[in-house]
Chains A and B, each alone.
Chain A
Amino acid sequence: DQQVKQNSPSLSVQEGRISILNCDYTNSMFDYFLWYKKYPAEGPTFLISISSIKDKNEDGRFTVFLNKSAKHLSLHIVPSQPGDSAVYFCLMIPTNFGNEKLTFGTGTRLTIIP
């Protein structure tokens, strides 16, 4: 039972345009949402996060949107750059964070075309 889905396993975007990555979830008890970026053969690095009390958080070229009623999380990257080519994972933190089974999405491979 996949609680978090990233329905696009891959995405190609022209350099300079907007990249939009999405996560859909089923559990309404997530409290905190994070995006990670991962290059091949490296550990994921933290990108941006949002708490459940907000619907938008911005950091430079990266903006995360949360639609709690639709249980939908998205990451916007604008303008997209070649260095953004990586796999992106969303991570959901449950309200009862004493239960350490954190839930990752399946990942979306983003390719920026020069």
Chain B
Amino acid sequence: DGGITQSPKYLFRKEGQNVTLSCEQNLNHDAMYWYRQDPGQGLRLIYYSQIVNDFQKGDIAEGYSVSREKKESFPLTVTSAQKNPTAFYLCASSDWTANEKLFFGSGTQLSVL
């Protein structure tokens, strides 16, 4: 079964701690994305990657970092510099060459202890 897997489903962060959210896809998609959702707001783009070893900042990249060492994987690190990390994080992938739709993972809820 092809799809996107995000883990963990729930994550807690202590003050000053970095945490990493996992995103893996087996759809052979070139592009991967990280979005953040806050209550009452639309999805906001954190980072995106169109190809392995390349990624670009989205609208709210401050306090986050990513890597794209493999096509299948696009982990997101929420650093201690992110002052308001509590949110629902969504990973997505797409292959826009075929005008395919965006596929989403099931999300990770991050909370600060």
A interface residues, Cβ below 8 angstroms from B: 4, 6, 9, 32, 34, 36, 41-46, 49, 51, 89, 91, 93, 97-98, 100-102, 104-107
Of listed B31, B43, B102, residue having the most chain A CB within 10 A: B43
The one of B33, B45, B50, B90 in contact with A44, judged by C-beta atoms closer than 8 angstroms, is B90
| CB < 8 Å A-B pair total | 60
The one of B33, B59, B104 in contact with A45, judged by C-beta atoms closer than 8 angstroms, is B104
Contact A101 B58 (CB under 8 A): yes
Binds A, one of B14-22, B65-73, B79-87, B105-113: B105-113
Of listed A44, A49, A98, A105, residue having the most chain B CB within 10 A: A44
Given contact pairs A42-B107, A100-B48, A101-B58, A32 touches B99 in the complex (Cβ within 8 A): yes
Contact B104 A49 (CB under 8 A): no
Contact A100 B101 (CB under 8 A): no
- Interface bin, chain B: 20 to 34
Mark interface residues in B16-58 (1 if CB within 8 Å of A CB, else 0): 0000000000000001010100001111010010100000101
Contact A101 B106 (CB under 8 A): no
Contact B42 A89 (CB under 8 A): yes
- Give the CA-CA distance A9 to B9 in the complex, in Å: 26
Contact B101 A34 (CB under 8 A): yes
* Interchain Cβ contacts under 8 Å between A and B, 5 examples: A32-B99, A34-B101, A41-B109, A102-B33, A104-B35
Residues of chain B with a CB closer than 8 A to A32's CB = 99
- Give the CA-CA distance A106 to B107 in the complex, in Å: 18
CB distance from B6 to the nearest CB of A (A): 8
